[in-house]
Amino acid sequence: MTFKKQITRMKNVFYLLFISLTFTLSSCIEIIDDIAIKNDGSGTFKYTVNLSSSKIKINSILALDSLEGRRVPSLEEIQQKVAAFKSKLEGKPGISNVTLESNYNEYIFKLKCDFTNISALQNALKEVIQEESKEKNIAELEHTWLSWDGQKMGRSVPEFTIKKTKELKQEEIDRLKEGNYTSISRFERPVEKFDNPSAVLSSNKLAVMIKTNPFVLSQNADVLENTIYLSPLKN
Amino acid sequence: MLNLKALNFSFVRSAVLFIILFVSSISFAQRSEDLIPKDAVTVFSINNFTLLQKISLDDLVKYEFMEEVQQELFDGSTSGKTMKDSGIDFDQKLNVFYGKGDEYEVSGFTFGIKNKADLFQVFDDFEQIESPYEGVEFYGSYFNNLIIKGNSALLIRVEPTMEKVDATTDSIWYARGNENPFDTYGLDEEENKEDVFEEEMPEETEIDSYNVPSLGEDPNQKNYYELRDSVQVVMQAAFLDKLCTELLIRKVNLVNYDNRFAQQLTHESEGIFYLDNSRSLQNAQGLWYFETMFPTLYEDIKELYTGNVMLGDLILHESSVEFKMEARYGPELGSIYEKMNDSKFDKHVLKYINKNNTAYFTYNVDMREAYEQAYKVIMPILTDEKNLQISTNVLTIELLNEFINKDALFNTYKGSMFGTFNGIKKIKTTKIEFSYDEETFEYIEKEVEAEEDMPIFTLGFTTDRGDIPEKVLNHLSRLTSRFKNKGNYWVYEDAILEAAPLYMLNKNGLFIFTNDEDLAVNHSDGYGAEALSRTEAKKSKKSGFMYGYIDWAKAIEKFPRDFFDERENEIIDAMRGKTGAMHLTTSETTKEKTTFELIYSFEGSYENSGKYLLDLLNSIYVMSK
């Protein structure tokens, strides 16, 4: 081996060590799932993913070609995927004013769209997820996670996350526990009552919030399950 | 078409036994090494095979490095047996070899046989075939061959190089009047590229109908790939015959071909290592361009590498493993190395290495001397080349040599450096948090301070011209506010992964990069009493051009688990109990050689030396995969 090769190899080892050690470090995710429903059933859906506390880890992963035998996409490819998601959602019936803010310095992604009714929103999201997924039939997408009859709103989460988390390592579980998942439901008239004891009501009585962490959510989908009853509609 | 997967399995299956043999054998009377072909470029020879006698075959196949061969070799016939039961003669050496020449590559191992019946319990898929060589038994399994002569055996696989196979196939194909076998069938180039990209794993039917060209009407005529398979099989047999004739009839083997290897075999260490770098260079794929375009230059480069060989010894002690490696080279290359490594140790680096560092290295070279010597040795070679491109390059180099201020260049970057890994520390960073209004649950973003774990690295270079990097830094600070002069140090905000600062110290004849805030802010003149102890510093100073240290226990705790699967992490976990330290030292470099010595001293408990060695080997395998 030549000396030049020795040095090159040494430098490569240090680079790899740096990247790999960085990758082992803890990180967490924050998700805000925010839905506002008007009395007529139309509304606005906002979904925010905040990875700013994991940006070192994300940057270190993006610096790799592959991880655990799988190719790591480039930042450009991620940007293209995000743009494609937005574009597909825009084309779905009953969906309008789609915006997708992407902050690639802090890794914060904010999806926002208006919908004409709950079914339109659910169908649109299901279709886009199905189109973007390589899996042909995603059983979990059959689940109805939102319902609305003008008087009450039902929310739930499909159970697929539980299956997935069984494959996780302890360190990954710990990281999920450090994250936050916030679910907010907003209305045009006051909330009368709700089923989930973990939920809290805003002071103006127009919003209900449940806070948990991704791990708890993954283990118990019921934690977000809630039926929110609104005060009668005034004529 | 050949079943390459089966072929591969079959070889690997055979390779299993070789690994079984891996850590054993003291050979005195028997000569398994006499069956190593001279085509072997790399050989790892195990002397003390007895260490592995107690290892059960079932335990052995559980190791990661055995994964691919588990089903093939250990298909139940070895259940409940130890290596001792495998018919192998532990009094002979086990020699593992690999080599690649212009025409073919060889791989395999040689070993002694104590009980042939037991051996064939393990090699149960080999069938005896008629031997063309007197006194030699021949056995075949797929494309592997087991050759037994006396009480020694050679398990070998000979593969013609794909370049050779392709060239011969093409020659026959076109001589028969065939068209280009890779006709794109009317697709334009862009479409074709797209298909290749999309179809990473094409189905077999698609291969048959699209990728594999056919001669068309005549079913007795082979298509291109069938022809290539036939060429490969014929060549394989021809090259095996050539190798066997040389080895078994002319009695030419690596031992009598290369005296350095023969000498190395006389060492009484547990294992020896041999790598002929000069032959390895000749066969390097990257040099084909030189070989084709500049044959004279290629010959000169080969000449430069003559005598370049690596010779190593693996020695097991009660509480340490020692690996000695001797890099030998020819006089011309040696003269460059000698000049380069004849450098005074920069003691300033020692005060920047904390005594609690998990790992560090020092590297002392004199780039100026190396440059001058390389200029003397290499320029005449280049000048002799009668080629326009090379001549232009020679002129460019000569002009640069005249015009560039070499004093400024080599006093800025002298070549010596050091590096440390200082464990994991919390570093300051920022993150975005959402705060909620209790009245409405509306939320707003706010940036807050955060801490994240970060591996702490330091890399420093010796310089006599600190004013030059200072000029660069001053200029950069005018271009961006992220570069800041903090007096004793410079800081480049968000330089590392767009999140963490990088500090630069330009003091005491060193230019240092680090992400260790403590070093930059509090120890810009060194760690003082917290620096390396005198004993450790002395070891570093006394070593040749390089010294390295790793605290294994601390390093293994910080091992990047996410890079490995569950099984691999189990092995890493198994290594956690084995604390100790690794030291890499080098000798003074002469025109003939440099010696490297890696000593791993351990403190952990272990069942037996063989098991411990296998644990180590497996860890290295996992790390290098």
Q: What is the pLDDT of residues A74-117, one digit of tens each?
A: 888 888 888 888 999 999 999 999 999 988 888 899 999 999 99
pLDDT of residue B342: 86
Q: Tell me phi and psi for residue A103, to 5 degrees.
A: -110, 100
pLDDT-derived band at B521, boundaries 50, 70, 90: very high
Tell me which DSSP letter residue B545 carries.
Answer: S
pLDDT of B60 = 63
- Which phi-psi region, left, alpha or beta, contains residue B142 (left: φ > 0; alpha: ψ -120 to 50)? left
Q: What share of chain B is helix, strand, coil (3-state, %, to 5)?
A: 45, 25, 30
Q: Lowest-confidence range among B245-254, B302-311, B476-485?
A: B302-311
Long-range Cβ contacts of B538-544 (<8 Å, 24+ apart) = B539/B583, B539/B585, B540/B345, B540/B350, B540/B362, B541/B345, B541/B347, B541/B350, B542/B585, B543/B362, B543/B585, B543/B586, B544/B341, B544/B585, B544/B586, B544/B587, B544/B588, B544/B589, B544/B594, B544/B595
Distance from C-alpha of A138 to C-alpha of A128, rounded to nearest angstrom: 12
Q: What is the pLDDT of residue B64?
A: 57
| Mean pLDDT computed over B244-264 | 93
Distance from CA of A198 to the nearest CA of B (A): 15
What are the structure tokens assigned to B593, written together?
């050689």
User: B-chain residues within 8 Å CB-CB of A106?
Assistant: 431-432
Give B 138-167 residues with CB within 8 A of chain A. none
Hunting for tokens 């929310």 — which residue is that? A155
pLDDT at B208: 42
Question: Which residues in chain A touch residue B452, judged by CB atoms under 8 angstroms apart?
Answer: 25, 27, 53, 56
**Cα distance between residue B611 and residue B55, in whole Å:** 7
Instruction: Identify the residue whose tokens are 């390592």.
Output: A169
Helix or strand run (H / E) with residue B103: none
pLDDT at residue B262, rounded to an integer: 94
Q: What is chain B's Cα-based Rg? A: 30
**pLDDT for the residue A175:** 73
Q: How far is A151 from chain B (nearest CA, A)?
A: 20
Tokens, residue B286: 């990257």
Q: Provide the pLDDT confidence category of residue B61 given band limits of 50, 70 and 90.
A: low
Interchain contact, A171 vs B561, CB within 8 Å: yes
For residue A207, give how far its alpha carbon lies from the nearest alpha carbon of chain B (Å). 7
- Res. A29: pLDDT tops 70: yes
Kindly indicate the confidence band of residue B16, based on its pLDDT and cuts at 50, 70 and 90: very low
Q: B454 falls in which pLDDT band (50, 70, 90)?
A: confident
Nearest CA in chain A to B449: A53
Nearest CB to A23; choose among B459, B560, B565: B560
Structure tokens of A148? 């609305």
pLDDT (0 to 100) of residue B289: 65
Question: What mean pLDDT comes out for the span B179-199?
Answer: 49
* Interchain CB contact of B440 with A (< 8 Å): yes
Q: What's the rounded mean pLDDT across residues B186-215?
A: 42
- On the question of pLDDT at B52 being above 70, the answer is no
**Mean pLDDT within B211-216:** 50
Residue B22: is its pLDDT beyond 70?
no
Q: How confident is the model at residue B127 (pLDDT cuts 50, 70, 90)?
A: confident
Q: Give the pair of three-digit tokens for residue B7.
A: 């072929």
What are the chain A neighbours of B498 within 8 Å (beta carbons)?
55, 59, 105
Question: What is the Cα–Cα distance from A179 to A215, expressed in whole angstroms?
Answer: 8
Strands, E assignment, B3-125:
42-46, 88-89, 94-100, 104-113
Weakest mean pLDDT among A48-57, B507-516, B524-533: A48-57
Three-state DSSP class for residue B5? helix
Q: Which of B498, B565, B568 to mutate to test the interface with A (most CBs of A within 10 A)?
A: B498
Q: Which of B72, B71, B28 has its CA nearest to residue B48?
A: B28
Which string of b and e fits B365-374 if b means at least 16 CB within 10 Å?
bbbbbbbbbb
Do the Cβ atoms of A112 and A44 come closer than 8 Å?
Answer: yes
Q: In chain A, what percentage of residues exceed pLDDT 90?
A: 37
Q: Residue A60: pLDDT above 80?
A: no
Choose among A34, A27, A85: nearest CA to A53. Answer: A27
Question: What Cα–Cα distance (Å) separates residue A220 from each residue in A162, A165, A196, A223?
Answer: 7, 11, 13, 6
Please state the rounded mean pLDDT for residues B395-419: 92
- pLDDT over 90 (residue B522): yes
Mean pLDDT, residues B245-260: 93
Q: In angstroms, rounded to a whole number, what is the distance separating the alpha carbons of residues B408 and B471? A: 13
The rounded distance, in Å, linking the Cα atoms of B512 and B517 is 12
Q: What separation in angstroms does the CA of B26 have from each of B53, B95, B553, B610?
A: 12, 11, 32, 14
Side-chain half-sphere CA neighbours of A140 within 13 A? 15
pLDDT > 70: what percent of chain A?
Answer: 76
In chain B, residues 459-478 whose CB comes closer than 8 Å to chain A = 459
Mean pLDDT (whole number) for B477-503: 89
Interface touch B440/A23, C-beta < 8 Å: no
Query: Hey, what are B423's tokens?
Result: 């464990």
What is the β-pairing status of strands B144-149 and B136-141? antiparallel
B337 with A53: Cβ contact below 8 A? no
Q: What is the b/e burial string over B396-414, where b = at least 16 CB atoms within 10 angstroms of the residue's CB? A: eeeeeeeeeeeeeebbbbb
Partner residue facing B560 (CB), from A10, A20, A182: A20
Report the percentage of chain B scoring pLDDT > 70: 72
pLDDT at B18: 45
- Is the whole model's pTM more than 0.80, yes or no? no
Of B574 and A207, the structure prediction assigns the larger pLDDT to A207
Q: How far is B439 from chain A (nearest CA, A)?
A: 4
Check residue B526 and give left, alpha or beta (phi > 0: left; psi -120 to 50: alpha): left
What pLDDT is stored for residue B258 in this prediction? 93
Cα–Cα distance between B304 and B335 in angstroms, integer? 11
The set of residues, in sequence order, having a beta carbon less than 8 Å from that of A10 and lying 6+ positions away, is: B361, B363
Determine the average pLDDT of the residues in B77-82: 61
Q: What is the mean pLDDT of chain B?
A: 78
Contact criterion met (CB < 8 Å) for A32 and B443 = yes
| Residue, of B89 and A166, whose pLDDT is higher | B89
Computed over every residue of chain A, the mean pLDDT equals 79
Contact: A59, B277; criterion CB under 8 Å = no
Inter-chain CB proximity A21 and B439 less than 8 Å: no
Mean pLDDT of A1-30: 44
| A187 → chain B, closest CA residue | B440
Please report, as a single letter, which amino acid is at residue A3: F
Q: What is the pLDDT of residue B588?
A: 87
Closest Cα partner for B336 from B369, B363, B312?
B369
Chain A residues near residue B337 by CB distance under 8 angstroms: 3
Name which residue leads in pLDDT, B223 or A151. Answer: A151
Phi and psi torsions of A46, nearest 5°: -125, 135
Residue B57: predicted pLDDT: 63
User: Hey, which residues does B554 pair with through a beta bridge?
Assistant: none
ipTM over 0.95: no
- Asked which of B78-87, B300-309, B354-363, B588-597 is least confident by mean pLDDT, the reply is B78-87
Per DSSP, helices labelled H in B317-359 are 331-341
Contact B210, B182 (CB under 8 A): no
For residue A233, give the amino acid letter.
Answer: L
